[in-house]
């Protein structure tokens, strides 16, 4: 979980101090190494304070590194192009012919160094998005301009904004607020941001509407299963340790089983009040799967403390989102303490495979309505679910990986007819392709067919959060 930052002065003044201040506010996202590039002058260090004295200029990039499978201190620069990157490009070897690559960030630099010799930034970014398999937020400095973009699903956050002195982007809105940008905006998934001294331009390049057009016309179970296996293979490659957010439901159990087959040291984490459904069922499911589980039992005092921390991190007030954030933050603390850096989650399955009760209502208007509801749900996950969990995990320098919303798996999954995901209005299980996939992985039927229950309710946290917010 790295952080990316870019700042451009609107009046020609030096931005080095504020660039460093924003970078300092994001150290929790990555503390393995730090870098800064201002108008082509670059400095890197293993400690933030060692970047001083700072290079001077009117625009620049900065980066905080969390190393998971490689060690590439950023920004990376070549042929007048500088790059900062948060996330993972799993097929990075498809973007560079260079031998001995240390990280996927080097492949990103190689790609744009070549592409921008003959193509516009817009064309180069579109081709990158169409080809890249991964989750990412990327900043680029090129020809006295700054650019930023994020993946089409929006798994990695990126925010931007302006004041009278400068325009900036960063991985978290709170860091921009500290730099006197009062109302940061999220860069939409699949969009390209261009920044100069005159301000910014935002353009849609390759988002959900474009993704819908490249979904295969049909698929079968074997192709679906193979794509999931490939996704897990890519996302676990090079990992020695992995954590999984676990409830004992079909989604987290499938992810846990698949990841554990690739990563020997896989540990499951669940958080909830004593005797809550998630804690009880997670213990039973972990035993059935023969996987290690760490349970975080929360008291009312724990929930109150976690609630305050969650509200501060999220920078917005939403009772349901806070109820969801609390158990994730509790797990985040435990995962970091246990020495893990990469965390897997089953996020996205309910949206893509019609897991929510709302799909039972949509089906009254036909299966086409269900499919449109799925696309709509997927198109807005970035603004709440992904952002919330990213922020909670990033507070402990943890990287989140989401197999179910990997772009190629999404394409394959959306080729499955809605009629195979939910059978009828009275279908209480729903998500049948995922349940079938779980059974194919040898997951016991009592887990594979466990009904859906939201984390905030399964953990027993929501009632406490609601009472605390009402002053009880």
* Helix residue ranges, H only, 349-431: 349-352, 358-362, 367-380, 385-394, 407-414
Reported in sequence order, the residue ranges of 166-291 that DSSP labels E, i.e. its strands, are 166-170, 185-186, 191-196, 199-204, 241-245, 265-273
pLDDT digits (tens, 9 = 90+) for 152-162: 999 999 999 99
pLDDT digits (tens, 9 = 90+) for 410-426: 999 999 999 999 999 99
pLDDT digits (tens, 9 = 90+) for 214-263: 999 999 999 999 999 999 999 999 999 999 999 999 999 999 999 999 99
Tell me what the mean pLDDT of segment 349-355 comes to: 96
Asked whether the whole model's pTM tops 0.85, one would answer: yes
Residue 237 DSSP one-character state = T
Tokens of 352: 């893509």
Taking alpha carbons only, the member of 243, 248, 267 closest to residue 453 is 248
CATH architecture of 3-209: 4-Layer Sandwich (3.60)
- Banded pLDDT at 317 (limits 50, 70, 90): confident
Tell me what the mean pLDDT of segment 84-92 comes to: 96
pLDDT at 111 over 90: yes
Residue 6 DSSP one-character state = E
pLDDT digits (tens, 9 = 90+) for 279-299: 999 999 999 999 999 999 999
pLDDT at 309 over 60: yes
Q: Check residue 470 and give its pLDDT.
A: 87
pLDDT digits (tens, 9 = 90+) for 357-370: 999 999 999 999 99
pLDDT at 208 over 90: yes
Mean pLDDT of all residues in the chain?
Answer: 95
Q: Check residue 142 and give its pLDDT.
A: 98
Q: Check residue 472 and give its pLDDT.
A: 67
* Separation CA 469–CA 423 (nearest Å): 39
What whole-number percentage of the chain has pLDDT above 90? Answer: 91
pLDDT digits (tens, 9 = 90+) for 170-189: 999 999 999 999 999 999 99
pLDDT digits (tens, 9 = 90+) for 140-155: 999 999 999 999 999 9
pLDDT digits (tens, 9 = 90+) for 34-72: 999 999 999 999 999 999 999 999 999 999 998 876 667
* Separation CA 267–CA 260 (nearest Å): 8
For 43-81, give one letter per residue: b (16+ CB within 10 A) or e. bbeeebeebeebbebbbbbbbbbbbbbeebbbbbbeeeb
| Residue 363 CB neighbours (<10 A) | 23
Q: Check residue 454 and give its pLDDT.
A: 56
pLDDT at 455 over 80: no
Under 8 Å CB-to-CB from 191, ≥6 apart: which residues? 149, 150, 202, 203, 204, 205, 207
Q: Check residue 378 and give its pLDDT.
A: 96
CATH architecture of 215-469: 3-Layer(aba) Sandwich (3.40)
The structural domains of the chain, with segments of one domain joined by +, span 3-209, 215-469
pLDDT digits (tens, 9 = 90+) for 326-341: 999 999 999 999 999 9
Q: Check residue 71 and give its pLDDT.
A: 66
């Amino acid at each position: 979980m790295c952080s990316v930052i870019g700042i451009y002065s609107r009046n020609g003044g030096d931005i080095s101090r504020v660039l460093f201040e924003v970078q300092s506010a994001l150290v929790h996202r990555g503390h393995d190494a730090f870098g800064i590039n201002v108008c082509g002058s670059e400095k890197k260090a293993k400690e933030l304070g060692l970047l001083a004295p700072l290079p001077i200029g009117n625009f620049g990039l900065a980066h905080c590194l969390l190393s998971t499978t490689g060690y590439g201190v950023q920004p990376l620069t070549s042929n007048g192009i500088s790059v900062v990157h948060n996330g993972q490009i799993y097929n990075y070897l498809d973007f560079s012919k260079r031998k001995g690559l240390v990280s996927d960030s080097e492949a990103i630099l190689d790609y744009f160094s070549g592409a921008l010799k003959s193509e516009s930034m817009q064309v180069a970014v579109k081709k990158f998005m169409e080809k890249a398999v991964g989750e990412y937020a990327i900043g680029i400095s090129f020809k006295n301009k700054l650019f930023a973009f994020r993946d089409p699903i929006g798994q990695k956050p990126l925010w931007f904004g302006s004041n009278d002195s400068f325009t900036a982007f960063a991985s978290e809105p709170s860091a921009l607020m500290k730099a006197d940008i009062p109302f940061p905006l999220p860069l939409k998934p699949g969009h390209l941001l261009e920044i100069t001294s005159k301000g910014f331009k935002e353009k849609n390049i390759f988002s959900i509407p474009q993704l819908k057009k490249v979904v295969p016309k049909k698929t079968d179970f074997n192709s679906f299963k193979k794509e999931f296996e490939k996704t897990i293979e890519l996302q676990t490659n090079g990992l020695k340790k992995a954590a999984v957010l676990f409830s004992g439901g079909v989604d987290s159990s499938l992810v846990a089983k698949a990841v554990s087959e690739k990563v020997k040291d896989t540990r499951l984490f669940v958080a909830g009040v004593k005797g809550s459904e998630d804690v009880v069922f997670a213990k039973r499911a972990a035993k059935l799967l023969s996987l290690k589980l760490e349970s975080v039992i929360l008291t009312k005092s724990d929930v109150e403390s976690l609630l305050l921390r969650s509200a501060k991190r999220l920078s917005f007030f939403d009772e349901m989102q806070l109820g969801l954030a609390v158990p994730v933050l509790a797990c985040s603390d435990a995962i970091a303490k246990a020495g893990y850096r990469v965390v897997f989650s089953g996020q996205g399955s309910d949206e893509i495979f019609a897991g929510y009760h709302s799909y039972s209502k949509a089906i009254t208007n036909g299966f086409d309505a269900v499919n449109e509801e799925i696309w709509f749900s997927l198109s807005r996950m970035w603004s709440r679910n992904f952002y919330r969990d990213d922020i909670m995990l990033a507070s402990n320098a943890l990287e989140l990986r989401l197999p179910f919303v990997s772009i190629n798996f999404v394409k394959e999954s959306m080729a499955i007819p809605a009629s195979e995901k939910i059978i009828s209005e009275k279908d209480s299980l729903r998500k049948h392709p995922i349940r079938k996939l779980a059974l194919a992985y040898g997951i016991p039927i009592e887990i594979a067919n466990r009904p859906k229950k939201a984390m905030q309710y399964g953990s027993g946290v929501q009632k406490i959060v609601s009472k605390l917010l009402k002053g009880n």
